[in-house]
Amino acid sequence: MGKHKANRRQFLQEVTKASGIMMLSPLAGEFKFMESAPRAVEPVIAPGKIKFAVININHPHIYGMTSAIKRGGGELVALYAKEEDLATAYLKSFPEAKRVSNEKEILEDPSIHLVLSSGIPDERAPLGIRVMKHGKDYLTDKPGIITLEELAEVRKVQKQTKRIYSIMYSERLENKGTEKASQLVKAGAIGQVIQTINIAPHRINNSIGKTGLAVRPDWFWDKKRYGGIITDIGSHQFDQYLHFTGSTEAVVLMSQVGNFHHPEAPLFEDFGDVMLSGNGGVGYIRIDWFTPDALDSWGDGRLTIMGTDGYIEVRKNTDILSGHKGGNQLYLVNKKEMIHMDCNNENLPFGPLFVDDVVNRTETAMSQAHCLLATELALKAQKNAKRFELKK
């Protein structure tokens, strides 16, 4: 084995060491399967580093958000939710939370450091502003802000109060395949990133797992309440574009939206796409509500990262070609290797990093500038999107 080849193999082994993955089937011209080892040991973080509470739980993403903060050492102490059925279901999963009668009991409790919310989208920014004005940090479901006017006010209050206003972009922060892609890109496995391509279909009637909504509420169909398809599910993709290209400045080159298949809901959008250019690379985003019923997931989400020395593709939720179950399947091709990695045993660092940021007033989980720039780009793309209609 030549020195270069040996160094290359050592490099890939070091890159994948953190997840306990070992290389098998080293046949040239074929994908080498990176078999998942036993689950990597997550750091044990005792609860009580911070106390946190939840206000409004209109989307079940709150379950994953709560679990992430608990993994980081957060102690859940209180819940406020107007809806009896939603509160009952949440407390079955998190019985340690005390249900309170109004949000003031949380906002005015000096022992609570952080508030989480997955309220109706048009209520999220106003709540976050109240949270920051009460001296607490805030983590909201996406979309965390649905108008540029709200964004300006959030920035103003955040600057005044020095509190954290963060948005859970879970398609990166809570996806193990995407977390592995972050590690590989950082290690230089594909050289300098040039472009990201995000394909993010979603299912409307989604009864898969606790994060699904089998029946969508009225606000789901009203653009004034959810912000539009680019503002809503597209916000995930702007976050990934900025993260992987390292862009700190970007412009929207093109955006378009449409309602192709839901005439009964004229305020709804079921398709959108965007082209981006930034100081770190270019990007393309496609989002839609056309996941077919036969798919074994809520959406066949795919991320492609193209670099100067190779590319990575992440099959986030399923892999219809290979039949690998559970999603988090990553494919890496560079100058010397073609590798498939099962990433289901990766650890997710966001929760512990975010709790540390609350404690230490740092920005290790996600910078404030990045968080709000991703939302700003989504809002501008939504506002300026051309309405596209299919010709009959």
In tens digits, what is the pLDDT along the chain, a chain of 392 residues?
A: 444 444 444 444 444 444 433 333 333 346 666 654 456 666 667 778 999 999 999 999 999 999 999 999 999 999 999 999 999 999 999 999 999 999 999 999 999 999 999 999 999 999 999 999 999 999 999 999 999 999 999 999 999 999 999 999 999 999 999 999 999 999 999 999 999 999 999 998 765 555 555 578 888 899 999 999 999 999 999 999 999 999 999 999 999 999 999 999 999 999 999 999 999 999 999 999 999 988 888 899 999 999 999 999 999 999 987 766 679 999 999 999 999 999 999 999 999 999 999 999 999 999 999 999 999 999 999 999 999 888 76
State the pLDDT at residue 296: 87
What pLDDT does residue 60 have? 92
What's the one-letter identity of residue 378? A
User: In this predicted structure, what is the pLDDT of residue 171?
Assistant: 95
Report the pLDDT value the prediction gives residue 325, as an integer from 0 to 100: 66
Taking alpha carbons only, the member of 82, 78, 72, 151 closest to residue 378 is 151
Tokens of 111: 């022992």
Q: Contact at 8 Å (CB) between 247 and 194?
A: no
Q: Which residues of 3-37 are buried (b: 16+ CB within 10 A; e: fewer)?
A: eeeeebeeebeebbeebebebeeeeeeebbebebe
**What is the spatial distance between Cα 305 and Cα 246, in angstroms, rounded to a whole number?**
12
Q: Give me the domains of the chain, ranges plus CATH numbers.
A: 50-170 (3.40.50.720), 172-350+380-387 (3.30.360.10)
Which residue reads 């702007």 in tokens? 238
pTM score, two decimals? 0.88
